[in-house]
Amino acid sequence: MAETCVGIAWAGVDTVFVDMDGTLLDLAFDNFFWLELVPARYARARGLDEATAYTTVTRKYAEVVGTLPWYCLDHWSRELELDIATLKREHRHLIRFLPLAPEFLAAARSRARRVVIVTNAHRQTLEIKMNETRLDRYVDGVVCAHDLDAPKESGEFWAELARREPFDPERTLLLDDSLAVLTAARNFGFERTVAIRRPDSRRPARTIEGFSAVDGVADLI
């Protein structure tokens, strides 16, 4: 059965870990970039029709989804022979906050001791998005999975994060749009996990099974 999160017991929360893409920033940008723009540029570079290019590119995605290479711009630049970082910079004006994300972060910082972004995004992606949104001004820190050599979908990520930045999983809140990430965190001992139903503003809310869920962080203010 789908669960609904109606509020956070902030008195029991010391730390908030919050995802970036699909939780604070609109996943519409990433879906456009990877599912529309990149296949179109791949088709143009190789003289393919777009349907063939889309099938080829998305098959390559599926081979590494959920691993660090999936999030690595250097990997995709080599694999597709496209300058992925430059493409992202050229379209950075499309990067947007999800509704009331800055306001949520301000509210969370007033209630918890520490609010930290934990992201799988590659360092180049992180730099582009931080420069465009100044998101780092709203939080106490930013953790990049590439610096920990493990994606958030793995237990290794959370174990390494706990070694580098000690936290009590029983008193930590995690907000993320990825059920695989939330499952890994729950297996590590997190008691407070909230899924985002609508990470892409262009798409309808998803049905979430097994986790407390909200349409977006605006619902938690």
Q: What share of the chain in percent tops pLDDT 90?
A: 95
Per-residue pLDDT band for 165 (boundaries 50, 70, 90) equals confident
Q: Which amino acid is at 61?
A: Y
Residue range 48-61: average pLDDT? 97
What are phi and psi for residue 25, nearest 5 degrees?
A: -110, 145
d(CA 106, CA 140): 11
pLDDT for res 168: 96
The average confidence (pLDDT) of the chain is 95
Residue type, 3: E
pTM, two decimal places:
0.95
Residue 212 DSSP class: E
**179-188 and 155-164 helices cross at what angle (nearest 10)?**
60
Q: Pick the closest to residue 161 from 146, 179, 176 (CA basis).
A: 146
State the pLDDT confidence band at 4, using cuts at 50, 70 and 90: very low
Write the single-letter amino acid at 212.
S
Asked whether the predicted pLDDT for residue 144 surpasses 80, the reply is: yes
